[in-house]
Amino acid sequence: MIRERIVGVGRRLVRRPPVPPPVRLVEVRPPNDLLAGRTALVVGGGRIGRATSELFLSAGARVHQADVRPGLAPPGATEHVVDVADTASIDELWNALGSPVDILVNAAGYQPPVAAFVDADPAQWRRTFDTNVIGQMYLTQLVGRELKKSHTPGSMVLIASAHHAITGGWPAYSASKAALVMFMREIALEWASSGIRINAIAPGWVAHPDEPHANDFPHTPLGSCAIPPHYIAQAALFLCSDRAAFTTGSVMYVDGGLSLRSYRTAALTDRADPHVRRFDSG
pLDDT at 153 over 70: yes
What average pLDDT score do residues 50-78 get? 95
Helix, strand or coil for residue 152? coil
Query: What pLDDT, on a 0 to 100 scale, did the predictor assign at position 134?
Result: 95
Q: Which residues are the active-site residues? A: 173
Q: Which of 134 and 18 is assigned the larger pLDDT?
A: 134
Query: What span, in angstroms and rounded, lies between the C-alpha atoms of 109 and 217?
Result: 22
What pLDDT band is residue 27 in, cutting at 50, 70 and 90?
Answer: low
- At 104, the amino acid letter reads L
Beta-bridge mates of residue 62: 39
Which bin fits 155, alpha (ψ -120 to 50), beta or left (φ > 0)?
beta
What average pLDDT score do residues 260-276 get? 57
**pLDDT tens-digit profile of 217-260?**
777 878 878 889 999 999 999 999 999 999 999 999 998 888 88
Q: Is residue 281 part of a domain?
A: no
Q: Is residue 268 part of a domain?
A: no
Query: What pLDDT, on a 0 to 100 scale, did the predictor assign at position 272?
Result: 52
Backbone angles phi, psi at 164, to 5 degrees: -70, -20
Q: Is residue 103 part of a domain?
A: yes
Which long-range contacts does 206-210 make (Cβ < 8 Å, 24+ apart)?
A: 206/47, 206/48, 206/232, 207/47, 208/47, 209/25
What CATH code is carried by the domain that includes residue 92? 3.40.50.720
Q: Is residue 83 part of a domain?
A: yes
Q: The whole model's pTM is what?
A: 0.82
Q: How many domains does the chain divide into?
A: 1
Structural domain containing residue 69: 30-260
Which residues are CB-neighbours of 17 under 8 A, at least 6 positions away? Answer: 1
Which residues are CB-neighbours of 278 under 8 A, at least 6 positions away? Answer: 271
Query: What pLDDT, on a 0 to 100 scale, did the predictor assign at position 129?
Result: 92
Q: Is residue 165 part of a domain?
A: yes
Query: What pLDDT, on a 0 to 100 scale, did the predictor assign at position 276?
Result: 54
Please tell me the least confidently modeled range out of 63-67, 136-140, 274-278: 274-278
In order, the DSSP letters of 184-224 are: HHHHHHHHGGGTEEEEEEEE-SB--TTSTTTT--TT-TTTS
Average predicted confidence (pLDDT) for the chain? 84
**pLDDT tens-digit profile of 91-129?**
999 999 988 999 999 999 888 877 788 888 889 889 989
Query: What pLDDT, on a 0 to 100 scale, did the predictor assign at position 263?
Result: 61
Beta-bridge mates of residue 251: 200
Q: Is residue 216 part of a domain?
A: yes
Q: Please work out, in degrees rounded to the nearest 5, the angle formed at the alpha carbon of residue 155 by the alpha carbons of 150 and 158.
A: 130
Q: Is residue 279 part of a domain?
A: no
